A and B are shown apart, each in its own frame.
Chain A
Amino acid sequence: MALPQTKLDATEARIAVLDMPRGGWSTTARTAALARLREMGLPGRRDEYWRFTRPDTLVQPEPPAAALFDPRETAAFDAIDKLKIVFVDGVFDAEASDDLTLEGVTIERLAEASSDLHWAASLYGQLEIRGQAAVPRPLAALNTAFATDGLLIHVTGKPSKPISISYRHASETSDAILHHVVKVDAGAEATILENGPAAARFNKCMEVDVADGAKLHHVRTQGRDHERRAATHVFARLGAESVFKSFTLTANGALTRNEVVIELTGDDALVHVAGACVGDGDFLHDDTVFITHDAVNCESRQVFKKVLRNGATGVFQGKILVKAGAQKTDGYQISQSLLLDEDSQFLAKPELEIYADDVACSHGSTSGAIDEEALFYLRSRGVPEPQAVNLLTLAFLAEAVAEIEDERLAEEITTRIEEWLIRHRS
């Protein structure tokens, strides 16, 4: 079907200001992605998949300016022993980064990998294509075509510390596009951390291939800059008996759309995707998750909690697709929002599509204000109202934070939430 003219124009206008990096093994994938993008067109306000989130500012050629946040703030995961890799406005910062060598993993940069035969070539843009099957995700295709850099992480063993990617934001008008590829070999295990606001506008894609019996933990915090915008995608394919756990904390930001697309292709695999977000004022946070069960006896879990105040908007679109034959599937999904005042809103579409009869899938979605009775209980025991509200808010988010396996990381996330609550006390 031909695209509407406005969509064609918007897509071409965006492409016109971008340069496709040429040469090297990724060229074929990039060219194909550009063709794909032109076919789909960039998202528009009338697209069903963008029903709750206006994509305009993610699509327009130049990003709206975004002021920088307090630079004195300590970055998340600061105290944790890690291999640190830093990007400033999407540009690799060698000075600030550690040496990229670590036992059990090889790390290269997309911008530097130019040999014709690279392991990442079989994955780059390929998992993204698979993720396009059910719903078009044009911003991901744009990313594949135009990513300026990114990391190619090949986990072959069990690295002793997490690989941490820090995204710093220094320019008020930066527009960053990064694309990572992560391959975890059979039986290998790693943790990837991400933190920081990245840029005025950030388009990030991460393709993850978790082989049989492998494990990948992913914990990220998205920076607190009030005006930043981000569209991120995680595309993950899981082999038999593999584990992938991903948690995201989002604090502020004018617009964040996090898409997570998971394919369970091997039997007995397990995936947990969780998110906590806290938003104050001009804030829209959108979690869009699509989990496909295409193997027997897999488990998927989605836990998303949102705390919203002063007109903030929370969006959740989650889907569990159980293909014919994916028997003994255990799919669980919960999305909840806590609206701290009258102006905030929660928009959700928790979806199930099931073609197998011997499965247990459930989903729940709730929205409401803080529990008056619980508040009264705390007040009657002498806890002042602001603290009581914070306590209850923290308790509300705890279910999502509990999805993080590593206790130190969970603590780190809790600290971040506490800081936010103190700063944004009513």
Chain B
Amino acid sequence: MAALDQTQVKEGVDQETVDAVREVSTYKYGWNTEIEMEYAPKGLTPDIVRLISDRNEEPEWMTEWRLAAYERWLTKKEPDWAMVDYPEIDFQDQYYYARPKSMIEKPKSLDDVDPKLLATYEKLGIPLKEQMILAGVEGAEGAPAEGRKVAVDAVFDSVSVGTTFQAELKKAGVIFCSISDAIREHPELVRKYLGTVVPVSDNFYATLNSAVFSDGSFVYVPPGVRCPMELSTYFRINAENTGQFERTLIIADKGSYVSYLEGCTAPMRETSQLHAAVVEIIVEEDAEVKYSTVQNWYPGDENGKGGIYNFVTKRADCRGDRAKVMWTQVETGSAVTWKYPSCILRGDESQGEFYSIAITNHHQQADTGTKMIHLGKNTRSRIVSKGISAGQAQNTYRGLVSMHPKARNSRNYTQCDSLLIGDRCGAHTVPYIEVRNNSSRVEHEATTSKVDDDQMFYCRQRGMDEEEAVALIVNGFAKEVLQALPMEFALEAQQLVAISLEGSVG
């Protein structure tokens, strides 16, 4: 923190913001669980791919799918266009599979899970017991128990430790389980959807993930069902020199609704670790998916040593008319972040939203943003991105808004703000805008004062000053969503709401 303490903060930057950034930059999850692990041999070969498939007891088609991805991966080049700089990764000097020995015999229920594992999640504030009310969430105690229920799939290194509330969800028809279970138990669904949003050959890391993903979550919400509780996955990297490659597949069938939350942490290690995830979301007609992430991987120490390399491909496909997807991300962790949660707005009147707060400090580098691909008529998208850079960190917003010729009468509004704390960091904006029809409107703004006039008027009329009104309008989304986060880190996310973008640059 020394770096930030000594930083001369320029006039106009809110002290509360500086304090909030300082607070979230103190890593609280850096401890390690001493547990006996089983590793696959180091390196990546077809045999390792087969081993992962074998450990997950997968059918032949899945093994073949992975091997084909491995072959593709060999031909792919690591992307170099992002504004991130890190030493070359030796993909043969990594473990691709690590599971606690106690998980070799798969526990029959949560009660059979190794207490050390349960204690790990307990310590992270993620109780894997259904009767427990989530600790530490403001207002949680007072909230009706029904409203606070959150089903959790806990992933520890390469395996899912357990998933809560499965029985209750099953009653509603919702399938929520680890992806390895889904491949065994719902192969028809997995086969139908896996790789249809993020194709195997999409990019270097997605292809790598397709070959070696070990676990992750699977969600299917049947037509017309409003998922009775929030779903969440908590990813914990514990083992050293081990990459985590999780795969998440969410299918919201016609007219359904689900809110999904994702959290992640890792111990402090001196060497950097690789995390390459793929998230695919399919949103059918009239369905809605909310996907929220609090990304808190270990960011490395003050001198930039260690930390997670976070290379993530997340994409939602609004296949049906009036489908809606909302990505919310709070990015505070990782040494390097390369992540662009995107929306394909295929159905007419479908909607995509992306709200992001990315905070980098010390030597962290984040290159993150979104793609909004408008294909259907009357589609709408909204992007609100805030990047805050301190220390010697680099923070980049990179995004694409594309209006295809047939996406008539569509609308996009983008707002990107960045704030620099100190004079040794950087903040960058790289938006791509492609408008291929004239009935659509695209607006890209980069100033805090540019909020909706009507909303502004409404707030001002009720006695708020301009600053308060802007904070309410621009941060409104954050408050709303962050407070809904059911985990311990929601507290931390709530602090972020205190951040003011006054003194920001486009």
Interface residues of A (CB under 8 A from B): 48, 51-52, 324-325, 327, 337, 339-369
* CB-based nearest B residue for A336: B443
- Contact residues in B for A366 (Cβ distance below 8 Å): 441-444
Partner of A337, one of B421, B427, B435: B435
A343 to B83 alpha-carbon distance, docked (Å): 34
- Contact residues in B for A351 (Cβ distance below 8 Å): 428-431
Closest Cβ of chain B to A181, distance in Å, is 33
Let me know if B506 and A352 touch, CB within 8 A: yes
> Could you list some 17 contacts between A and B, CB below 8 A?
A48-B81, A325-B423, A337-B435, A342-B438, A346-B435, A348-B433, A351-B430, A352-B506, A354-B427, A354-B505, A357-B10, A361-B446, A361-B505, A365-B431, A367-B433, A369-B438, A369-B441
Interface residues in B389-442 by Cβ distance below 8 A to A read 405, 408, 418, 420-442
Interface residues of B (CB under 8 A from A): 10, 81, 83, 405, 408, 418, 420-447, 450, 505-506
A357 to B113 alpha-carbon distance, docked (Å): 50
A343 to B438 alpha-carbon distance, docked (Å): 7
A357 to B390 alpha-carbon distance, docked (Å): 10
Let me know if B444 and A363 touch, CB within 8 A: yes
Known: A48-B81, A354-B427. A362 touches B446 (CB 8 A): yes
Partner of A347, one of B83, B435, B444: B435
- Contact residues in A for B436 (Cβ distance below 8 Å): 345
* CB-based nearest A residue for B443: A366
* CB-based nearest A residue for B439: A369
Let me know if A339 and B505 touch, CB within 8 A: no
Let me know if B429 and A368 touch, CB within 8 A: no
Supplied contacts A324-B423, A353-B83, 13 more A-B pairs, CB within 8 Å: A337-B435, A342-B408, A350-B429, A352-B428, A356-B423, A360-B505, A361-B446, A363-B446, A364-B450, A365-B431, A365-B442, A367-B442, A368-B441
Known: A352-B428, A366-B442, A368-B441. A339 touches B422 (CB 8 A): no
Closest Cβ of chain A to B44, distance in Å, is 25
Let me know if B438 and A356 touch, CB within 8 A: no
A349 to B428 alpha-carbon distance, docked (Å): 13
Closest Cβ of chain B to A146, distance in Å, is 31
Closest Cβ of chain A to B341, distance in Å, is 20
- Contact residues in A for B433 (Cβ distance below 8 Å): 346-350, 365, 367
A252 to B446 alpha-carbon distance, docked (Å): 31
Partner of A354, one of B418, B440, B447: B418
Known: A350-B444, A353-B426, A354-B505. A367 touches B435 (CB 8 A): yes
Top 10 A-B residue pairs of the complex, sorted by shortest distance between their CB atoms: A339-B438, A357-B420, A362-B506, A368-B441, A348-B433, A367-B435, A352-B429, A365-B444, A369-B438, A361-B505
Let me know if A340 and B438 touch, CB within 8 A: yes
Partner of A356, one of B405, B408, B420, B442: B420
- Contact residues in A for B10 (Cβ distance below 8 Å): 357-358
* CB-based nearest A residue for B442: A367
* CB-based nearest B residue for A349: B432
* CB-based nearest A residue for B398: A351
* CB-based nearest B residue for A52: B434
* CB-based nearest B residue for A339: B438
Let me know if B431 and A350 touch, CB within 8 A: yes
- Contact residues in A for B429 (Cβ distance below 8 Å): 350-352, 363
A86 to B445 alpha-carbon distance, docked (Å): 43
A342 to B438 alpha-carbon distance, docked (Å): 5
* CB-based nearest A residue for B402: A347
Partner of A367, one of B421, B424, B441, B446: B441
- Contact residues in A for B420 (Cβ distance below 8 Å): 354, 356-357
A37 to B436 alpha-carbon distance, docked (Å): 34
Closest Cβ of chain B to A300, distance in Å, is 13
* CB-based nearest A residue for B445: A364
Known: A352-B428, A353-B428, A361-B505. A344 touches B438 (CB 8 A): yes
A327 to B10 alpha-carbon distance, docked (Å): 11
Closest Cβ of chain A to B236, distance in Å, is 35
- Contact residues in A for B81 (Cβ distance below 8 Å): 48
A364 to B443 alpha-carbon distance, docked (Å): 7
- Contact residues in B for A358 (Cβ distance below 8 Å): 10, 423
- Contact residues in A for B445 (Cβ distance below 8 Å): 364
Let me know if B426 and A341 touch, CB within 8 A: no
- Contact residues in B for A359 (Cβ distance below 8 Å): 505
A340 to B438 alpha-carbon distance, docked (Å): 7
Partner of B431, one of A340, A349, A353, A356: A349
Partner of B421, one of A325, A342, A353, A357: A357
Partner of B442, one of A52, A354, A361, A368: A368
Closest Cβ of chain B to A61, distance in Å, is 30
Let me know if A362 and B430 touch, CB within 8 A: no
- Contact residues in B for A325 (Cβ distance below 8 Å): 423
Closest Cβ of chain B to A161, distance in Å, is 40
A349 to B81 alpha-carbon distance, docked (Å): 15
Closest Cβ of chain A to B426, distance in Å, is 5
- Contact residues in A for B424 (Cβ distance below 8 Å): 324
A365 to B430 alpha-carbon distance, docked (Å): 12
A305 to B442 alpha-carbon distance, docked (Å): 15
* CB-based nearest A residue for B450: A364
* CB-based nearest B residue for A329: B505
A356 to B422 alpha-carbon distance, docked (Å): 8
- Contact residues in A for B443 (Cβ distance below 8 Å): 364-366
- Contact residues in B for A339 (Cβ distance below 8 Å): 435, 437-438
A344 to B405 alpha-carbon distance, docked (Å): 9
Closest Cβ of chain A to B449, distance in Å, is 10
Which one of B81, B83, B436, B438 has the greatest number of beta carbons of chain A within 10 Å?
B438
- Contact residues in A for B428 (Cβ distance below 8 Å): 351-354
- Contact residues in A for B423 (Cβ distance below 8 Å): 324-325, 327, 355-358
- Contact residues in B for A348 (Cβ distance below 8 Å): 431-434
- Contact residues in A for B438 (Cβ distance below 8 Å): 339-342, 344, 368-369
A407 to B159 alpha-carbon distance, docked (Å): 72
A166 to B488 alpha-carbon distance, docked (Å): 70
A343 to B435 alpha-carbon distance, docked (Å): 10
- Contact residues in A for B418 (Cβ distance below 8 Å): 352, 354
- Contact residues in A for B427 (Cβ distance below 8 Å): 352, 354
A364 to B445 alpha-carbon distance, docked (Å): 5
Let me know if B434 and A347 touch, CB within 8 A: yes
Known: A324-B423, A353-B426, A358-B10. A368 touches B444 (CB 8 A): no
Let me know if B442 and A362 touch, CB within 8 A: no
- Contact residues in B for A367 (Cβ distance below 8 Å): 433, 435, 440-442
- Contact residues in A for B430 (Cβ distance below 8 Å): 349, 351
Closest Cβ of chain B to A102, distance in Å, is 42
* CB-based nearest B residue for A345: B436
Known: A357-B420, A357-B422. A352 touches B437 (CB 8 A): no
A350 to B432 alpha-carbon distance, docked (Å): 7
Closest Cβ of chain B to A47, distance in Å, is 12
A351 to B440 alpha-carbon distance, docked (Å): 22
Closest Cβ of chain A to B434, distance in Å, is 5
* CB-based nearest A residue for B417: A362
* CB-based nearest A residue for B448: A362
* CB-based nearest A residue for B432: A349
- Contact residues in A for B440 (Cβ distance below 8 Å): 367-368
* CB-based nearest B residue for A314: B435
A341 to B439 alpha-carbon distance, docked (Å): 8
Closest Cβ of chain A to B299, distance in Å, is 20
* CB-based nearest A residue for B429: A352
- Contact residues in B for A344 (Cβ distance below 8 Å): 438
Partner of B439, one of A342, A346, A357, A365: A342
* CB-based nearest B residue for A346: B435
* CB-based nearest B residue for A316: B433
Closest Cβ of chain B to A348, distance in Å, is 4
Let me know if B431 and A364 touch, CB within 8 A: no
- Contact residues in A for B431 (Cβ distance below 8 Å): 348-351, 365
- Contact residues in B for A363 (Cβ distance below 8 Å): 429, 444, 446, 506
- Contact residues in A for B437 (Cβ distance below 8 Å): 339, 342, 345
Closest Cβ of chain B to A106, distance in Å, is 42
A135 to B70 alpha-carbon distance, docked (Å): 34
